[in-house]
Amino acid sequence: MTAPIISGKQVSEEIRAGLRAEVEALVEQGLTPGLAVILVGEDPASQVYVRNKEKACHDLGYYSEVHRLPASTSQEDLLALVNKLNRQENIHGILVQLPLPKHIDEKSVIDAIAVEKDVDGFHPVNVGNLVIGDDSLLPCTPAGVIELIKRTGIEMSGKHAVVIGRSNIVGKPVSLLLQRENATVTMCHSRTVNMKELTEQADILVVAIGKANFVDASFIKPGAVVIDVGMNRLDNGKLAGDVDFESVKEVSGPITPVPGGVGPMTITMLMNNTLIAAKRLGGLA
């Protein structure tokens, strides 16, 4: 039997409708959430992501600033812009699109973003608060994964969740958020021995390893929930997830497609973070 598809596109549209209504009410109270995005250089994928963020701001009624800087921009100039945006009252969220050109130290730039405006959730203080379980701005893709599972009505408490991938952006934070939902979490990564023995036990499998079609049906416990965070560009130009969707969907339970699964949730959670930051900074939270 073929598994039900979890539509990130549909869930994302539902959340965005709620955000649009909330922003409209805030604007009436004199507070327009503002997001500043900084793009350094001309990486084609980054240009697409930044355009989509700008469009989401426009569609949902946020104020938006996009700073497109040449690849030759010095670290000093970039830090000066971040500091200016930290002080700018109409900006509540700051996002520096990654990757940055090689001559710029990414960590110094992330560390310079005001913690309360760090809508990517990458600042060490926000990461630390996530680990402790304190209130923080959550990284967008992991938050999107959890929201997608929740809104699909899937129970996480007491389930065995297996995460493949241990990146700072997805694998590590998603494992912490799954624990927060009372799942029992196993982490797998490129050096894991006998990975299938672990994934075969997963009630929920989250895959973020960055290898096209890495997970096939032989990894899957029948009926398991499968969340594919992968976005791999194939030689033929097509987008592929980390999961071989066609074979896995014959064995799994609810499963996310690529595109149209986790992808649309990321920007939606960014917009949610910007709204949270605006309310906190505006004294309305």
Using CB under 6 A as the criterion, which residues of the chain lie in contact with ligand GUN when the complex forms?
A: 95-98, 120, 140
CB nearer to ligand GUN: pick between 195 and 262 = 262
CB nearer to ligand GUN: pick between 46 and 184 = 46
> Of 117, 118, 120, 221, which one is the catalytic site residue?
120
**CA–CA gap between residue 209 and residue 228 (Å, rounded):** 9
CB nearer to ligand GUN: pick between 6 and 37 = 37
Greatest alpha-carbon pair distance for the chain in Å reads: 57
Chain centroid offset of residue 195 CA:
25
Does the active-site annotation cover 97? yes
Among residues 116, 86, 58, which one has the least CA distance to residue 278? 116
CB nearer to ligand GUN: pick between 8 and 254 = 8
Q: Give the residue carrying structure tokens 């709620």.
A: 18
**Assign residue 132 a region: left if phi > 0, alpha if psi is -120 to 50, beta otherwise?**
alpha
Q: Specify whether the CB–CB gap between 93 and 277 falls below 8 A.
A: yes
Angle at 176 between CA 121 and CA 167, to 5 degrees: 65
Q: Specify whether the CB–CB gap between 153 and 6 falls below 8 A.
A: no
- Please report, in angstroms and rounded to a whole number, the separation of the first and last CA atoms in the chain: 46
Please, what is the minimum distance in Å from the beta carbon of residue 123 to ligand GUN? 11
Please, what is the minimum distance in Å from the beta carbon of residue 274 to ligand GUN? 13
Please, what is the minimum distance in Å from the beta carbon of residue 220 to ligand GUN? 27
Which residue's CB comes closest to ligand GUN? 98
Please, what is the minimum distance in Å from the beta carbon of residue 47 to ligand GUN? 11
Q: Give the residue carrying structure tokens 């390893």.
A: 209
Please, what is the minimum distance in Å from the beta carbon of residue 24 to ligand GUN? 26
**CA–CA gap between residue 227 and residue 208 (Å, rounded):** 9
Q: Look up residue 243 and give its two tokens.
A: 């999961």
Please, what is the minimum distance in Å from the beta carbon of residue 37 to ligand GUN? 8
Q: Which residues pair with 205 in a beta bridge?
A: 162, 226
**CA–CA gap between residue 160 and residue 61 (Å, rounded):** 40
Among residues 169, 168, 209, 203, which one has the least CA distance to residue 186? 203
Q: Which residues pair with 182 in a beta bridge?
A: none
As a residue count, the chain comes to 285
Catalytic positions, please? Answer: 53, 97, 120
